[in-house]
Amino acid sequence: SPSDPDLVERARAAKEKLGSKVFVLGHHYQRDEVIQFADVTGDSFKLARDAAARPEAEYIVFCGVHFMAESADILTSDDQKVVLPDLAAGCSMADMATAEQVAECWDVLTDAGIAEQVVPVSYMNSSADIKAFTGKHGGTICTSSNAQRALEWAFEQGEKVLFLPDQHLGRNTAVRDMGMTLEDCVLYNPHKPNGGLTAEQLRDAKMILWRGHCSVHGRFSVDSVNDVRARIPGVNVLVHPECKHEVVEAADYVGSTEYIIKALEAAPAGSKWAIGTELNLVRRLANRFASEDKEVVFLDKTVCFCSTMNRIDLPHLVWTLESLAQGNLVNRIEVDRETEQFAKLALERMLALP
Ligand code: 13P
Ligand code: SF4
């Protein structure tokens, strides 16, 4: 739906008043009404870098979810303030791994006698606490656009990887891109004693996958792929690596949100694409590429927004920008020093990956 012209004008005026003091970052899954005010858009990897590259901005307004704002706070200087327009914009996947659960898991790995061989690799979609755990234990962060490089690095440091919190990104990267087998992967369930695994299973595994997933990408199925192929002959199926392994196997191409955009930019006129990722992005791409005669459709028949990404809407953005313009610092996301120190180590290892 078109944005309220009054709110658009208020956002524009507040942003103009703030000038170079504010820098607005917009994740690709944000609503159009928010994206129109983003100084840059990107996937979570690009946005982490973009935040770090803006030392002159006093306020970084992060239109995305909580873990992204935390990462921006970790990567920016202490006097820069990172602001999340709605504090309830979390991520259900990130919430699937808590600091206590991960500490308990490390005890299980220690008891099985393998902790010293294990390198943690944590997806960007995790809390600052989990990133700090990762840094402390010699591991790195990854995103959906560099998971393979992160895993290659990790297997140079140790024999096994604890991958958290997204089992699908971990499994898809290991099996699809790195020649491992499904048998090389075990699933650690934080709700079961010892993760539901025996010490022997842990010792035999190469990849210990945390049992987390994205509720948005988890909704795509092999049926969605088969249906769209039947409906649109010649369609290219392109999905995000947070989708289930069998969906990724059934697709033609797999990649991060940034990869998806680049693939469509490079696609020939007349080509047809079914995209398995969040709906705000897919709708925007469908509109954008229609004029180039590229047909872009959503992979599933049902609607599939990320509800927490959608919490950042124009009213929240207006409130945030107007508050900042009046000198009221609202909704600051600030990671405590000790957490920040170790989380930064893990993030910097990622940024240094070749
Ligand atoms: P990317 O932006 O890394 O593609 O990740 C998608 C996502 O789910 C972000 O929450
Ligand atoms: Fe989290 Fe999935 Fe939403 Fe991304 S799309 S913020 S992983 S719930």
Half-sphere exposure in the Cβ direction for 5 (13 Å, CA): 0
Query: Quick check: 1 pLDDT over 90?
Result: no
d(CA 241, ligand 2 centre) in Å: 12
Q: Are 74 and 35 in contact (CB under 8 A)?
A: no
Query: Quick check: 19 pLDDT over 80?
Result: yes
Same domain, 140 and 171: yes
Query: Quick check: 105 pLDDT over 70?
Result: yes
191 token code pair = 């709700």
Q: How deeply is 245 buried, as exposed, middle or buried, from its count of CB atoms within 10 A (0-12, 13-18, 19+)?
A: middle
pLDDT of residue 235: 98
Q: Name the helix (H) or strand (E) containing 285.
A: helix 279-290
**Sheet strands side by side (includes 160-164):** 140-142, 118-123, 160-164, 207-210, 185-188
Residue 342 falls inside a structural domain = no
Q: Are 239 and 126 in contact (CB under 8 A)?
A: no
Distance CA 206, CA 304 (A): 33
Q: Give 113-123 pLDDT, tens digit per residue.
A: 999 999 999 99
Residue 59 falls inside a structural domain = yes
In the chain the first and final C-alpha atoms are separated, in Å, by: 42
d(CA 218, ligand 2 centre) in Å: 10
Residue 85 falls inside a structural domain = yes
Atom of ligand 1 lying closest to residue 145 CA: 3
Confidence of residue 44 (pLDDT cuts 50, 70, 90): confident
Same domain, 206 and 221: no
Given 298, 319, 344, which residue is the final one in a domain? 298
Same domain, 62 and 40: yes
Q: What's the ipTM? A: 0.96
Same domain, 148 and 224: no
Task: Name the domain count of the chain.
Answer: 3
Angle at 106 between CA 102 and CA 112, to 5 degrees: 145
CATH (domain of 224): 3.40.50.10800
Tokens 């990267």, located at residue = 173
Same domain, 12 and 121: no
State residue 67 phi and psi, 5-degree precision.
-65, -30
Residue 294 falls inside a structural domain = yes
| Mean pLDDT of all residues in 116-142 | 98
Same domain, 64 and 138: no
d(CA 92, ligand 2 centre) in Å: 7
Same domain, 232 and 192: no
DSSP string, 194-224: GGG--HHHHHH-SEEEESB--TTGGG--HHH
Same domain, 179 and 119: yes
d(CA 213, ligand 2 centre) in Å: 9
- What's the helix, strand, coil split of the chain in %, to 5? 50, 15, 35
pLDDT of residue 45: 80
Same domain, 153 and 258: no
Same domain, 253 and 209: no
Same domain, 210 and 227: no
Residue 349 falls inside a structural domain = no
Q: Are 107 and 126 in contact (CB under 8 A)?
A: no
Given 196, 214, 232, which residue is the final one in a domain? 214
Angle at 349 between CA 86 and CA 109, to 5 degrees: 90
Query: Quick check: 318 pLDDT over 70?
Result: yes
The number of angstroms, rounded, from the C-alpha of 9 to the middle of its chain's C-alpha atoms is 31
pLDDT of residue 52: 85
DSSP letter at 120?
E
Distance CA 140, CA 123 (A): 9
Would the CB of 91 count as within 6 Å of ligand 2? yes
Residue 181 falls inside a structural domain = yes
* Ligand 1 pocket, mutate which of 62, 91, 257 (most atoms under 8 A from CB): 257
Mean pLDDT across the chain: 96
Would the CB of 43 count as within 6 Å of ligand 1? yes
State the pTM of this model. 0.95
Would the CB of 30 count as within 6 Å of ligand 2? no
* Nearest in space to 213 (alpha carbons), one of 45, 96, 306, 88: 96
Same domain, 60 and 100: no
| Mean pLDDT of all residues in 128-153 | 97
Would the CB of 279 count as within 6 Å of ligand 2? no
* Partner residues linked to 26 by β-bridges: 41, 63
Q: Give 147-206 pLDDT, tens digit per residue.
A: 999 999 999 999 999 999 999 999 999 999 999 999 999 999 999 999 999 999 999 999
Given 298, 321, 349, which residue is the final one in a domain? 298
* Nearest in space to 65 (alpha carbons), one of 81, 86, 80: 86
Residue 43 falls inside a structural domain = yes
Residue 148 falls inside a structural domain = yes
- Domain housing 327: 5-91+309-336
